[in-house]
């Protein structure tokens, strides 16, 4: 049975969301006031007026009577009279069988160093990390995170998301994560929910939901719509000479740069801009320390590319390794939909770009013998550039972007 949630709370949230059986990390986004918190509060049973119908995935449906739902708010509610260790210890007292250890939760939520601190001495981001760790040692079946990582710096936040995603893949945990940071959600979510104006407006695979968000005008409130591209690690690049090194070599540098292959085209990506996906696959049997292993040759990774980072070049012959541009990443694309922003974002144009998949061999190939990839890339450019370059639908262009 798939996870399916149907909620109705008058004037605040209404709709149904059904997810794939393998989806365990579900992102929820939408404009401020749209109803995201209301959705989570209904699921958690905090809204007495709400009508909620839920069917739980088969692996947890059998224990519906004692189903454990954890929730962590943006403002963490920690017990002030005991320290961090005391907070986790109290949560552990009522833990279910699938709870993780205090040590694992502290390490995974990057807060081992805080264990002896008092609650009133924690910063906002530290308190958020402790609150998530405390929820995990209680062993919830469903963990609802309502902007619960909003005060944490982006590098630590991604480490925690990575840990949660891995936990979802290796245990029976399902996470529903509300965030305004669409890039975080795109990188880690198995499926995405878009809530608009009190309605569950779109549910499903991340790229499909992003496209649905355009239709609802949801992108207008978002500075940087992003595309997600699946790629495979090719080489580790030695930073000084720009030479190739083995991906799993012991090169000791802070932020490694890899060459990866995406749709038959080569991209250069810094380590922090890519997310390994193999270690988190739901069928994975990899050990728990897989996250800390170096990336290996041929390993699948996910990259998210912000529309505001993409520039457009009409010189389509300039994608070779001999480019004179400092921007090495160049994907050959065709212009698809063209959207002029109105109101407060006047003067900007959003382009949907179909990436040319040079690795594909099939009957739908274009005249260059390559296929247009279904999942798009986005570019936001000024209306001035749009008119200066005389861009139009179906025009071949090169999309350039940095992934540092
Ligand atoms: N307790 C409440 N009683 C009545 N209306 C409420 C209550 N809480 C929220 N609302 C209203 O319900 C709507 C949805 O609010 P909600 O907090 O769910 O939005 P949200 O998408 O989480 O917003 P944000 O991103 O700003 O946190 C808003 O119009 C809000 O004013």
d(CA 208, CA 192): 9
Structure confidence at residue 283 (pLDDT): 39
DSSP 8-state code for residue 295: P
CA of 34 to the centre of ligand 1 (A): 7
What pLDDT shows up at residue 279? Answer: 42
CA distance 278 to 371: 26
332 lines ligand 1 (CB under 6 A): no
Residue 326 CB less than 6 A away from ligand 1: no
Report which protein residue has its CA nearest ligand 1's atom 3: 12
pLDDT at 371 over 70: no
146: which strand partners?
Answer: 178
pLDDT digits (tens, 9 = 90+) for 25-42: 999 999 899 999 999 999
Query: 20 or 225, which is more confident?
Result: 20
* Residue 254, C-beta contacts closer than 8 angstroms, at least 6 positions apart: none
Residue 388: pLDDT band (50, 70, 90) is: very high
CA of 30, closest atom in ligand 1: 21
| 138-147 residues labelled b (16+ CB within 10 A) or e (exposed) | bbbbbbbbbb
The confidence score (pLDDT) of residue 144 equals 97
Q: Ligand 1, closest atom to CA 39? A: 18
Partnered with residue 366 across adjacent β-strands are none
Query: Which pLDDT value is given to residue 100?
Result: 93
Give the pLDDT mean for 360-367.
48
C-beta of 38 in contact with ligand 1 (< 6 A): yes
* Shared fold status for 3-217 and 226-239+252-402: no
Give yes or no for residue 35 CB within 6 A of ligand 1. yes
Query: How confident is the model at residue 289, as a pLDDT?
Result: 45
Supply the CATH classification number for the domain 226-239+252-402. Answer: 2.40.50.100
| Choice between 347 and 157, residue whose per-residue pLDDT is larger | 157
Ligand 1 neighbourhood includes 34 CB (under 6 angstroms): yes
Question: From atom 23 of ligand 1, which residue's Cα is the shortest distance away?
Answer: 33
- With cut-offs at 50, 70 and 90, classify the pLDDT of residue 284: very low
Q: How many CB atoms lie within 10 A of CB 192?
A: 25
Query: Phi/psi at 5 (nearest 5 deg)?
Result: -125, 125
Beta carbons within 8 Å of 317's beta carbon, 6+ residues apart = none
33 Cβ below 6 A of ligand 1: yes
Residue 102 phi/psi, 5-degree rounding, is -60, -40
Nearest residue (by CA) to ligand 1, atom 18, is: 35
Report which of residues 349 and 362 the model is more confident about: 349
- Sign of the CA dihedral with 42 first, then 48, 53, and 59 last: positive
Nearest partner of 192 among 308, 38, 30, 45, judged by Cα? 30
Take atom 9 of ligand 1 and give the residue whose Cα is closest. Answer: 38
Q: How far apart are CA 249 and CA 5, in angstroms?
A: 46
What does the alpha-carbon distance between residue 109 and residue 315 come to, in Å, rounded to a whole number? 46
Task: Specify the 3-state DSSP secondary structure of 118.
Answer: coil
Domain-wise residue ranges, the chain:
3-217, 226-239+252-402
Highest mean pLDDT among 85-89, 257-261, 370-374: 85-89
User: Which region among 188-192, 336-340, 385-389 has the lowest average model confidence (pLDDT)?
Assistant: 336-340
Asked if residue 398 has pLDDT above 60, the reply is yes
What does the radius of gyration of the chain's CA atoms come to, in whole angstroms? 22
CB 179 near ligand 1, within 6 Å: no
Banded pLDDT at 118 (limits 50, 70, 90): very high
39, 27 Cβ separation under 8 angstroms:
no
What is the structure's pLDDT at 287? 40
Of residues 176 and 162, the one with the higher pLDDT is: 176
**Average pLDDT value over all residues in the chain:** 83
Q: What atom in ligand 1 is closest to the CA of residue 178? A: 22
**Given the CA of residue 195, which atom of ligand 1 is nearest to it?**
21
Angstrom distance (rounded) from CA 329 to CA 266 = 8
pLDDT of 282 > 50? The answer is no
Percent helix, strand, coil in the chain, to 5, is 30, 30, 40
24 lines ligand 1 (CB under 6 A): no
Arithmetic mean of pLDDT, 340-358? 75
Please indicate whether residue 382 or residue 284 has the higher confidence score (pLDDT): 382
pLDDT at 290: 46
| pLDDT > 90 fraction of the chain, expressed in percent and rounded | 46
Rounded-to-integer distance, Cα 309 and Cα 403, Å: 9
Lowest mean per-residue pLDDT among 66-70, 86-90, 113-117, 123-127: 66-70
| Residue 32 Cβ < 6 Å to ligand 1 | yes
Mutate to test the pocket of ligand 1, among 36, 42, 198 (most ligand atoms within 8 A of CB): 36
CA of 36 to the centre of ligand 1 (A): 8
Percent of the chain predicted with pLDDT > 70: 80
CA distances in angstroms from 368 to 115, 332, 333, 396, listed in the order given: 60, 11, 12, 11
CB 25 within 8 A of CB 175: yes
Q: What is the pTM of this model?
A: 0.77
Cβ of residue 29 lying under 6 Å from some atom of ligand 1? no
Please determine, looking at this structure, whether the domain spanning 3-217 carries the CATH number 3.40.50.300: yes
């Amino acid at each position: 049975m798939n996870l399916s949630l149907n909620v109705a709370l008058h004037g605040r949230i209404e709709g149904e969301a059904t997810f794939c059986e393998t989806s365990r990390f579900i992102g929820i986004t939408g404009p401020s006031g749209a109803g995201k918190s209301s959705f989570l509060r209904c699921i958690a049973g905090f809204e007495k007026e709400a009508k909620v119908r839920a069917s739980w995935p088969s692996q947890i449906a059998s224990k519906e009577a004692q189903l454990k739902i954890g929730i962590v708010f943006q403002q963490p509610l920690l017990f002030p009279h005991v320290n961090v260790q005391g907070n986790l210890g109290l949560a552990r007292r009522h833990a279910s069988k699938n709870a993780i250890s205090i040590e694992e939760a502290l390490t995974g939520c990057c807060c081992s160093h805080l264990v002896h601190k008092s609650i009133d001495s924690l910063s906002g981001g530290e308190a958020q990390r402790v609150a998530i760790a405390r929820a995990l040692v209680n062993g919830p079946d469903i963990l609802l995170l309502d902007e619960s990582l909003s005060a944490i710096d982006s590098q630590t936040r991604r480490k925690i998301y990575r840990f949660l995603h891995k936990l979802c893949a290796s245990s029976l945990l399902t996470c529903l994560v509300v965030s305004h940071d669409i890039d975080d959600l795109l990188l880690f979510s198995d499926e995405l929910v878009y809530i608009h104006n009190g309605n569950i407006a779109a549910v499903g695979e991340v790229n499909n939901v992003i496209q649905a968000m355009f239709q609802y005008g949801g992108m207008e409130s978002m500075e940087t719509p992003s595309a997600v591209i699946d790629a495979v690690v090719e080489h580790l690049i030695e930073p000084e000479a720009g030479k190739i090194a083995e991906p799993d070599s012991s090169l000791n540098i802070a932020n490694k740069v890899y060459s990866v292959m995406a749709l038959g085209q080569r991209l250069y990506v810094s380590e922090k801009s890519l997310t390994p996906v193999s270690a988190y696959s739901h069928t994975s049997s990899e050990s728990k320390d897989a996250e800390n292993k170096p990336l290996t040759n041929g390993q699948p990774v996910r990259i998210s590319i912000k529309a505001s980072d993409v520039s457009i070049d009409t010189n389509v012959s300039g994608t070779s390794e001999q480019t004179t541009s400092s921007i090495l990443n160049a994907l050959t694309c065709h212009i698809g939909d063209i959207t002029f922003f109105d109101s407060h974002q006047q003067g900007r144009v959003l382009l949907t770009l179909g990436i040319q998949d040079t690795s594909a061999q099939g009957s739908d190939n274009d005249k260059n013998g390559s296929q247009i990839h279904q999942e798009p890339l986005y570019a936001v450019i000024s209306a001035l550039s749009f008119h200066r370059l005389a861009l139009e639908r179906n025009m071949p262009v090169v999309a350039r972007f940095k992934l540092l």
